[in-house]
Amino acid sequence: MNLQVLRASHFVLKAFDEAYREYGVRATQLPVLAMMADAMVAVSIKDIAEVVESERSVMFRKLKVMEKNGWIVEDLAISGKEKMYLLTDSGRKLIDDLAPIRTQVQEKLMTRLAPDEQHLLMSLCGKLRGLA
């Protein structure tokens, strides 16, 4: 198996990154924005990191980039020891704009697989979730 799993992950992320390039967003940022949109309230770095299964230090760096891009903002009214962030209108628009593109990329990737391979991929993703 060697590095095949890592390579497969790279190919998938690369397909999304290329499709999102003109919007200035990375594939790894979109789940964070989507989580914040679903929450509809200010969320902490800890909460975001838990939901998207990332380390807090990594999440902090991602959030700083997203804040600089205007997609999120720190909620100064409730931020204390733990910073709290809100999705901005710009961030919500980005999610809406990327929805059809995300669907197109997913369809493009999945059509490269036979139906049994698609099922196996989804099954494996479910089994591997939370191992990190």
pLDDT in tens, 103-117: 999 999 899 889 888
Question: CA 29, CA 38: separation in Å to the nearest integer?
Answer: 15
- Which of 49-58, 72-81, 104-113: highest mean pLDDT? 104-113
For the chain, which residues make up each domain, given as ranges?
A: 4-128
User: What's the residue count for the chain?
Assistant: 132
Burial classification of residue 128, based on how many CB atoms lie within 10 Å of its CB (0-12 exposed, 13-18 middle, 19 or more buried): exposed
Which of helix, strand or coil describes residue 121? Answer: helix
pLDDT in tens, 59-70: 999 999 999 999
pTM, whole model, 2 decimals? Answer: 0.82
Calculate the alpha carbon distances from 79 to 32, 51, 72, 76 in Å. 18, 19, 14, 5
Q: Does the structural domain 4-128 have CATH classification 1.10.10.10?
A: yes
